[in-house]
Chain A
């Protein structure tokens, strides 16, 4: 699908599903009897355009892995992910080159249209902030150096990092790094943003600023899936909440309802532990 077609698809009515995942299974160390860990055990989710889905749950429950399955950074072992009309499974067609190429193209489509922000920022240390942001647009979208540079400065400006464009990641604070990482993801003009515990590695005084940035993004209509332990953010900004434990979705519902009056006892136990 071309970029124009993708944009067209994205302009469909509000309420249109942007991403639907069905029956996602994922194990690590597959095939090694004792070391195999079944991280995701049949997870379904769907997110509508403009919706903010917050995923909560204890560590090790598979939240991060779920995000990585959606853009196939960690391809699911079973199940499918439908994104803007494409449908992919984790099964790579190895035999037929034509199908393989179609698969690779679809993968590229997913990744260029799904932005991801990581817990540990994962900025490229050998590039300035501006080059970090410009890399995707030049190498994956085919923009010229100049166009990419312009877009990069624009996105850095938007997250308040315009003055740091020439700095290297090591010269930035954690909060500044995460702003650059957000700009890097947004420079791809994604249709969906994934946040993987974007504030967990930050000093306490820097968390608020990043959450503010994410809130602003949500208000601008961005579709987001946010893995977080910040329950205040989940309640205020989230439309829906998914509570995961041991690789399955235990409870799902409106953000306020789930957080204020959880139905399932595991959700209750988790929330009371985290909020006390």
Chain B
């Protein structure tokens, strides 16, 4: 027999530090939000390059996506935080390094999503816009991207959730987020189950709130 049922849960330390957990969670949320915004901007640019039809632009964009999609976030964190400092002497703060790493990882995914969204549009949309004399940029800005945005909201929501969960790795480069709180708790009280369950509960709650937000956004942007 194991002593599974004999274990006495000790939620006290977790509950005593609920404010620290929430503070850490808040850091994860805003770091993710900034990274996500930057990843979207970068992703649109890369998607447009990939669809440019100019080999010199589309090939590097393709390579960018292929490589960045393959490199794990963990590696990016070490590269950006430790590697960059050693190689070129540029020192990022832990949070800055985290944002750069999350942005790079996220941009590979958003680039693919925007590419798919742009390709899903009827070719006649661009033709009609160009035939009205709009420039390439104007066509993207006023005709193609507003339509793409409506298509890509659900998959982009998944990327956001992925990045939010990825942000839990940031504690390994000494970002004091909610995982670092759980870590410390675990070291002091040896309650790994309780400490990390707290992290899980907070993330599940955040994802639920975020999903609801996405649903509202979809409804607001839905065309008649």
Residue among B122, B131, B134 with most chain A CB within 10 A: B131
Q: Is A164 an interface residue (CB 8 A)?
A: no
Whether, in the assembled complex, A188 has its beta carbon less than 8 Å from a beta carbon of chain B, the answer is yes
A184 at interface, CB cutoff 8 A: yes
* Pairwise interchain contact B134-A125, C-beta atoms closer than 8 A: no
Segment with Cβ contacts to A, from B45-53, B143-151, B171-179: B143-151
Residues 109 to 149 of chain A near chain B (Cβ within 8 Å): 111-112, 114-116, 118, 120, 122-126, 135-136, 139-141
- Among the listed A118, A136, A139, which residue makes an inter-chain contact with B124, where contact means beta carbons less than 8 Å apart? A118
Contact with A along B124-159 (1 / 0, CB 8 A): 110111111111001000110011001000000000
Give the number of chain B interface residues (Cβ < 8 Å): 20
Contact, CB under 8 Å: B224 / A171: yes
Please state if A170 and B130 are interface contacts (CB–CB under 8 Å). Answer: no
How far apart are the CA atoms of A116 and B142 in the complex, in Å? 19
A184 closest partner in B (C-beta)? B132
Within 8 A of B (CB), among A228-265: none
Whether B138 and A139, one on each chain, are in contact in the complex, defined by CB atoms closer than 8 angstroms, is yes
Whether A71 sits at the interface, judged by CB under 8 Å, is: yes
The contact of A168 among B124, B134, B224, by CB within 8 Å, is B224
Q: Is A108 an interface residue (CB 8 A)?
A: yes
A37 within 8 A of B: no
A168 neighbours in B (Cβ, 8 Å) = 223-224
| A111→B125 contact, CB < 8 A | no
Contact at A124–B128, with CB atoms within 8 Å?
A: yes
Q: Check A73–B134 contact: CB distance below 8 A.
A: no
Given contacts A122-B125, A122-B128, A125-B147, contact A139 B134 (CB under 8 A): yes
Most buried by B among A111, A168, A171: A111
Instruction: Give the distance to chain B from A191, nearest Cβ to Cβ, in Å.
Output: 13
If A126-B147, A135-B132 touch, whether A170 touches B122 (CB-CB below 8 Å) is no
B146 contacts A135, CB within 8 Å? no
Given the complex, which residues of A lie within 8 Å of B138, measured CB to CB? 139-140
Complex Cα distance, B124 from A54, in Å, reads 22
Taking A122-B125, A139-B138 as contacts, is the C-beta distance between A116 and B131 under 8 angstroms?
Answer: yes
Closest partner residue, chain A, to B128 (CB atom) = A122
Separation in Å of the A231 CB from the closest CB of chain B? 26
Q: Note all chain A residues with C-beta closer than 8 A to B127.
A: 68, 73, 118, 122
A123 to B133, CA, bound (A): 15
12 A-B Cβ contacts within 8 A?
A: A73-B130, A112-B132, A120-B122, A122-B125, A135-B129, A135-B132, A135-B142, A139-B133, A139-B138, A139-B142, A184-B132, A188-B133
10 smallest CB-CB distances across A and B, nearest first, come from: A140-B133, A136-B132, A112-B133, A122-B128, A122-B124, A111-B133, A116-B131, A168-B224, A126-B146, A139-B138
Q: A125-B147, A139-B134 are in contact. List 8 more A-B contacts (CB 8 A).
A: A108-B135, A120-B122, A122-B124, A124-B128, A135-B134, A139-B132, A171-B224, A188-B133
